[in-house]
Chains A and B, each alone.
Chain A
Amino acid sequence: MNTSTVLRGAPGTGEGARASEASRPAQAFMNPYLAGVGIGLVLLASFVIMGRGLGATGAFSSFQAWIVQMISPEHAEANAVYSDYLGDEHPLLAWLVFLVAGTFVGALVSGLLARRSKLTVEKGPRIGTGARLVLAFVGGTLTAIGAKLALGCTSGQALTGGALLNVGSWIFMLMVFAGGYAVAWFVRRQWT
């Protein structure tokens, strides 16, 4: 396992993400505007085909409700949050679970094709692996609470609702950027 700095000195080019044993270097990332059009067309297709946008957090909620239901069905049924994701169907037969499964496979294929897949802990040069993993965990926890409060995450709210000109989504999106910039200085040693 290589825990050294990836992308050192070369963010945006994908150059640093190369696997040392690979004969050919990792490909550069796609032009961001082009990648944005790609994601936008997938989102548009989702609106046209399904009448709904993309999302991610709901899939995690379904997975969690399924686990809790296996441990204690009474506890899961009695809780308004878990029971929201439980019905007559199996909890994993949810639309967002399939979407996120597809997201995983799509990224897997893209990463392998571009030789960017690598078992590694991503971090800047000024932080240890242990500290990086603690911050990753804390960040995930905060993100999940934020997404539950806001009824969606960057995919379900900002991206999907942004394209539909949803009022709450635009408020949410501006606040995501505000929150990120507000604390970026405090965690700068993790990334730069």
Chain B
Amino acid sequence: MTAIAPFYKLEMFGDGAGLAFALALGFGFGFFLERAGFASSRKLTAQFYLFDMSVLKVMFTAIVTAMVGVYVLSTIGLLDFSLIYLIPTFVVPQIVGGLALGIGFVVGGYCPGTSMAAVATGRIDALVYVLGIFAGLTVFAEGFAWFQPWNEMTSLGKTTLPKLLGLPYGMIVAAVVVLAVGAFLLAERVEARFRGAR
């Protein structure tokens, strides 16, 4: 079957329509983030105090849903996986950056996407967090000469787990599904155990 997606990459429409789709997709994203309670810093950070593990549940359910969708659509040939943009892997920067973002998350109460949802629902702490984002971006941009060598360390290029491990795509998809279900079962038990900690 000839791939009919991604539509934009196959030039079915132009940049203007792309921006309109961005608005629509963003609307859906923000709507479900707020529905999940992710415009609330207390709800989000509860993940780290174990009495409400919604962050893990929402994130892994979303990942599994999209992952299985991409797998099915590309396996039957409708979606050309090679045309989907993949962020290149840099091992050390992504370890250090992940740690910094995780610390910033529990200290500040949000991540960049959820802070937007929180500002939209009147959270003043989220607005201050966004000011912090701009401060951080300024530190990074103005200090780029110092950050640059860090940023380009340990490059693996654009690579996926199936390619890296030399295993079939479907097998990794199945493994992630099993892992996610295990994480959900564990999360439910942990929540029940720490419910008194709130």
A interface residues, Cβ below 8 angstroms from B: 1, 6-7, 9, 11-12, 14, 17, 29-30, 32-33, 35-57, 60-61, 63-64, 68, 79-82, 93, 95-96, 98-111, 114, 116-124, 132-133, 135-184, 187-188, 190-192
Contact = CB atoms under 8 A, between A and B. Distances in A.
27 contacts: A35-B35, A39-B29, A39-B62, A40-B66, A51-B9, A56-B112, A56-B116, A61-B137, A95-B19, A98-B26, A102-B24, A107-B116, A108-B120, A110-B32, A116-B34, A117-B122, A141-B104, A143-B136, A154-B101, A154-B112, A160-B87, A161-B86, A168-B94, A169-B87, A171-B98, A187-B106, A191-B46
B135 A140 contact: yes
Given A6-B42, A51-B8, A138-B108, A150 B98 contact: yes
A153 B138 CA distance: 17
Contacts of A37: 61-62, 65
B36 A146 contact: no
A178 B48 CA distance: 10
A144 B136 contact: yes
Q: How large is the interface on B (under 10, 10 to 19, 20 to 34, 35 or more residues)?
A: 35 or more
Nearest to B164: A167
A107 B141 contact: no
Contacts of B101: 142-143, 146-147, 150, 153-154, 172, 175-176, 179
A186 B159 CA distance: 36
B76 interface: no
Contacts of A142: 100-101, 103-104, 107-108, 132, 136
A98 B25 CA distance: 9
Contacts of B35: 29-30, 35, 38, 110, 114
B1 interface: no
Contacts, number: 555
A111 B34 contact: yes
B161 to A, nearest CB: 4
B102 interface: yes
A163 B132 contact: no
A6 B124 CA distance: 13
- Tell me which of B63, B83, B122 has the highest count of chain A C-beta atoms within 10 A of its own C-beta: B63
B77 interface: no
Given A51-B84, A141-B132, A165 B160 contact: yes
A156 B70 contact: no
CB-CB nearest 8 A-B residue pairs: A139-B108, A140-B132, A102-B26, A179-B102, A36-B61, A40-B65, A175-B98, A144-B136
Contact of A165 (B23, B40, B102, B172): B172
A37 B41 CA distance: 21
Contact of A109 (B31, B85, B100, B142): B31
A62 to B, nearest CB: 10
Contacts of A174: 98
B79 A168 contact: no
Contact of A148 (B111, B116, B140): B140
B146 to A, nearest CB: 11
A116 B31 CA distance: 12
Contacts of B88: 151, 168
Contacts of B48: 180-181, 184, 191
Nearest to B102: A179
A52 B54 CA distance: 25
B156 interface: yes
A137 B129 contact: yes
